[in-house]
Amino acid sequence: MTSIDHDLFELSPDSTAGIQRTMADRVTVEIHRLIIMGEIEPGSALPIRDLADRFGTSAMPVREALRRLGGLGLVEITPHRGARVAEISVEDLEDTYRVRLVLEPLAVASAAEVVDEAQLERAADALARHNAAMDAGDLDRARTAHTEFHFLLYQGAGSRWLQRAIEPVWQNSDRYRFAAPGGEKDRSRAEHTEILEACRAHDPAAAEGAMRRHLEGALGRIRTAMLAHRD
């Protein structure tokens, strides 16, 4: 399983100065962003030569980038046929959230028991940046801050393997968030605040319940949007 390097995938545009990245890192970040934001649609072919020309590089960094993204489940690579963006479906959405509903309530419940104030303040700052970006209509920046908020709480659980288990299903579900309409912003904001405050109160049961409601609500909204679009 390929683990997400959050410094690689989720740095905000304002925080990248001075960070040295290989060409494969840069190409991975760019293709990852294009897939998550839906700019390269599910099922689209990913020709290595075309991508190399697009990013001004040779084929080798592109192959490495596609291999990494394949490890996250975002790209499907078939021998002798090349790579393409993984398809999305209601069935895959439900399967993804079924796993998230096992792992992420456990993570925040564990975090609520042991997370320290410094970690909570960093999470609160990420949530504030997420809300501000959503208000400004900056979905890319909002996505970055949203991921940072959740994973700061998951890191607070102190379990490296639990975070690693969450990462692939998070990456896959992030694509589905853009399939849902944006009319639930206030509800989502309230759910995030509830999760944070339960962790701040060191109440594992409340944190677990808040995360479960958040995920079930997101699943319901996205499923409804996808079914409406399919009809």
Please check whether residue 149 is in contact with residue 126, taking contact to mean a CB–CB distance below 8 angstroms. yes
Q: What is the pLDDT of residue 21?
A: 56
Per domain, the residue ranges of the chain are 6-85, 90-230
Closest CA to 200 of 152, 146, 133: 152
Q: Are 109 and 204 in contact (CB under 8 A)?
A: yes
pLDDT in tens, 24-78: 999 999 999 899 888 999 999 999 999 999 999 999 999 999 999 998 889 999 9
Q: Which residues are 82's β-sheet partners?
A: 78
d(CA 117, CA 32): 32
pLDDT of residue 12: 38
Any residues with CB less than 8 A from the CB of 167 and at least 6 apart, and which? 3, 4, 72
Q: In DSSP terms, which residues pair with 85 in a beta bridge?
A: 75
Contact 163, 155 (CB under 8 A): yes
What is the pTM for the complete model shown? 0.82
Q: How far is CA 18 from the centre of its chain?
A: 24
Name residue 78's beta-bridge partners.
Answer: 82
Domain 90-230: CATH class, spelled out? mainly alpha
Topology given in CATH for the domain delimited by 6-85:
Arc Repressor Mutant, subunit A (1.10.10)
- SS3 assignment, position 140: helix
H/E segment holding residue 76: strand 75-78
**From the first residue on, what is the mean pLDDT of each consecutive set of 10 residues in the chain (231 residues)?**
43 35 87 90 94 94 93 90 93 96 98 95 96 92 93 94 92 80 75 97 98 95 85 57
- Predicted confidence at residue 8, as pLDDT, reads 42
